[in-house]
């Protein structure tokens, strides 16, 4: 079933009320003092999106989405350029993107806050 654009706009205006940043790591090459090429990594903002952020349980996410992964947060948004292993920032906390599930009217992003992202 095709979701009408007017309905998509109502969903967006009602639920996508959180400002979220998608961060990625960009590799850059620079020359040092001895003209040797050094590869460095820099975190950059890939995009800023509006979405709905929810905490959940790992068990509920695995049951609902059939994903065998560790994820305890869900974001729904209209669209995103994010990819798996990018980082989503919400309220100055970083969450690793574990999966992106496309639907007709939105995308669902499954997130994990852990490992190197622990406080």
Q: pLDDT tens-digit profile of 35-64?
A: 899 998 999 999 999 999 999 988 888 888
Q: pLDDT tens-digit profile of 5-24?
A: 888 788 788 889 999 999 99
Range of the domain at 19: 5-117
The CATH code of the domain that includes 87 is 2.40.10.270
**Is the per-residue pLDDT at 112 higher than 70?**
yes
Residues 6 or more apart from 46 whose CB is under 8 A from it? 22, 23, 24, 81, 82, 86
Tally of domains in the chain? 1
Q: Say if strands 73-77 and 87-90 run parallel, antiparallel, or are unpaired.
A: unpaired
């Amino acid at each position: 079933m095709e979701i009408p654009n007017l309905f998509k706009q109502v969903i967006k205006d009602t639920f996508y009320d959180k400002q979220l940043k998608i961060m990625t790591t960009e590799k850059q090459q620079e020359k040092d003092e001895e003209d040797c090429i050094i590869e460095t990594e820099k975190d950059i903002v890939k995009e800023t999106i509006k979405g709905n952020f929810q905490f959940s349980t790992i068990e509920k996410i695995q049951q609902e989405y059939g994903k065998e992964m560790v994820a305890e947060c869900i974001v729904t948004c209209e669209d995103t350029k994010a990819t798996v292993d990018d980082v989503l920032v919400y309220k100055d906390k970083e969450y690793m993107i574990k999966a992106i599930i496309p639907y007709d009217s939105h995308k669902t992003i499954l997130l994990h806050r852990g490992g190197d992202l622990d406080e």
